[in-house]
Amino acid sequence: MMSEKTRQGKFTTAKKKLKEYWQRKSPGVPAGANRKKKINGSGPDTAASGGYRSPGDSATGVYGEGPVSSTNLKDLQVPTLKEEKKREIHRVQKLGRSLFKLKHQRTEPRAPDSPGGPSEVEQLQDETKHLRKELESLERQLQAEVENNQMLSLLNRRQEERIREQEERIREQEEKLHEQEERLSGQEERICEQEKRIHEQDERIWEQEWLPEQERLLEEVKKLLEQERWEEEEEKLLEHERLLHQVQKLLEEERLRGQDERLREQERLLEQVEKLLERDRQQEEQKRLLEEEQLLDQVEELLEQERLREQDQRLWEQETLRELERLRELERMLELGWEALYEQQAEPHSSFEEPNNENKSALQLEPQVKELKTLGELKDTVTSDPSKKGWEAGTSLWGREAPGQRQLQPGGR
C-alpha cells in the first residue's frame, strides 16, 4: 500500500499546479465593477466582487488545510461549489430587484430637471449601464468557475489514476519482496540442516576418541581444578587476613576516638566480616559440591565405558575360544586325513589314475596345512598375550572366512 508521506507529497504538488494554473487562466475583473456606488443598500465590496472568489482562493480553500485524500477532496469540492452557486444566485436576484425598481422609476412621471445637476433619467441610465456591466462580469465569472471546476475534476481523475498505478507498482514490488524472503528462508533452512549434520559428525568423531586419551585429559583437568582451588583458597585467606588487619586498624582508631563509637564500629565491622566469611564459605561449599558432582559424573561415565570395554573383551575371548575349538577340530580332521593318505600310499596301486588322485588330494591339503600353521601361530599369540594385538587379530578373522575352511568342511563330512 502507498505510504502516507508519498500521498501527502503528491497532493501538495497537485495543489501547487492548480494554483499556478488558476493564476494564469483566471479572467480579469472589468473596470466598471470597481465603482464605489451604493445601489439599493448594496455595498461597494459587494458590487465589486459580488461574493465571487477567485479560482486561486477556491483552490486554497479546498487544499488550505494540508494534503488530503482523493475522497476528502471530492467531499470538500461539493459544498464549495454549492456555496458559490448560492452566492451567485443571490447576487443575480439583487440585480433583478434593482432592475425592477429602475423600471418602475422610469414609468413614473419625470420630475422637472434641476438646473444645477444631472437629470434623473441620466442617473437611471448610468445605473442601468452599471448593472449591465455587472451582469456581464458575473456571466464571465460563472463561465470561468465552470471551466475551473471541469479542470479540477479532470485533474482529480488523473491524480486518482496515477495513485492507482503507483499502488499497483508498489503491490508488485511487495510480492517480489515476499518471494525473495521465501527464497532466503529456504536457504536458511538448508544451512541449518547442514550445520546439524556437521554437528552430528563432530559428535560421532568425539565419541570415537581413544579411552586413554580421555583418561589423561581427565587427570589433567582434575589437576588443574585442584590447583585452581588451592589458589582460590590462598587468595581468600590473604583477603581474610587483609580484612582482619583493616578491622584491627579501624578498631584501634575507633578506640582512640571514643568508647561508644568504637563499640558501634566494631559491631558493624564484625557483622561485615561475618557476612563475608559466611558468603565465602557458602561459595566455597557450592563450588566444592559442583566439583564433586562433576567428578562423580565423569567417574560414572568412565566406569560405564570400562564396563562396556570389559564386556566387549569377554565377548571377544568367548568367540576366540570357540574359534580355537573349531580349529582344533579341523586339525584333528586333517590328521585323520593325513593318516588315511599314508594308508592309501602304503597299499599297492592297481591303476594309473590312483596316484594322480592322491597327488590331487595332497595338493588340496597343502593350503589347509598352511592355514593350520597360521592358526597355530594365532593360538600361541592369544594364549601368550590376550591384549590389543589379539583383539585386532580376532576382529580381522571375524570379518572374513578362514582360507581352507570351505575345503576342510567337505573332508570333515
Amino acid at 381: T
Q: Looking at the structure, do residues 166 and 91 belong to the same domain, yes or no? A: yes
In a domain, 187, yes or no: no
What is the pTM (predicted TM-score) of this model?
A: 0.22
In a domain, 29, yes or no: yes
Torsion of CA 256, 261, 266, 272, to 10 degrees: -130
Q: Looking at the structure, do residues 158 and 17 belong to the same domain, yes or no? A: yes
Q: Looking at the structure, do residues 157 and 42 belong to the same domain, yes or no? A: yes
Distance CA 413, CA 398 (A): 23
In a domain, 101, yes or no: yes
Distance CA 180, CA 159 (A): 31
Distance CA 367, CA 356 (A): 18
Q: What is the pLDDT of residues 90-139, one digit of tens each?
A: 777 777 676 666 666 555 555 444 544 557 777 777 877 887 787 788 77
In a domain, 412, yes or no: no
Distance CA 367, CA 15 (A): 108
In a domain, 88, yes or no: yes
Question: Of the residues 274, 298, 322, which one is the last residue of a structural domain?
Answer: 298
Q: Looking at the structure, do residues 146 and 227 belong to the same domain, yes or no? A: no
Question: Of the residues 298, 316, 340, which one is the last residue of a structural domain?
Answer: 298
Predicted confidence at residue 310, as pLDDT, reads: 93
Q: Looking at the structure, do residues 42 and 135 belong to the same domain, yes or no? A: yes
Q: Looking at the structure, do residues 150 and 218 belong to the same domain, yes or no? A: no
DSSP 31: G
In a domain, 204, yes or no: no
Each residue of 389-412: b (16+ CB within 10 Å) or e?
A: ebbeebeebeeeebebeeebeebe
Q: Looking at the structure, do residues 171 and 67 belong to the same domain, yes or no? A: yes
Predicted confidence at residue 369, as pLDDT, reads: 59
Q: Looking at the structure, do residues 169 and 282 belong to the same domain, yes or no? A: no
Predicted confidence at residue 21, as pLDDT, reads: 64
**Ranges under pLDDT 70 in the chain:** 1-4, 7-8, 10-11, 14-15, 17-19, 21-82, 85, 96, 98-118, 209-212, 262, 348-413
Predicted confidence at residue 15, as pLDDT, reads: 67
Q: Looking at the structure, do residues 168 and 33 belong to the same domain, yes or no? A: yes
Total of domains in the chain: 2
Q: Looking at the structure, do residues 76 and 149 belong to the same domain, yes or no? A: yes
In a domain, 20, yes or no: yes
Contact assessment for residue 211 and residue 308, using Cβ atoms and an 8 Å cutoff: no
For residue 177 the three cell numbers come to 519482496
Predicted confidence at residue 222, as pLDDT, reads: 87
Amino acid at 18: L
Range of the domain at 57: 4-109+120-175
Q: Looking at the structure, do residues 18 and 105 belong to the same domain, yes or no? A: yes
In a domain, 311, yes or no: no
Predicted confidence at residue 410, as pLDDT, reads: 40
Predicted confidence at residue 24, as pLDDT, reads: 67
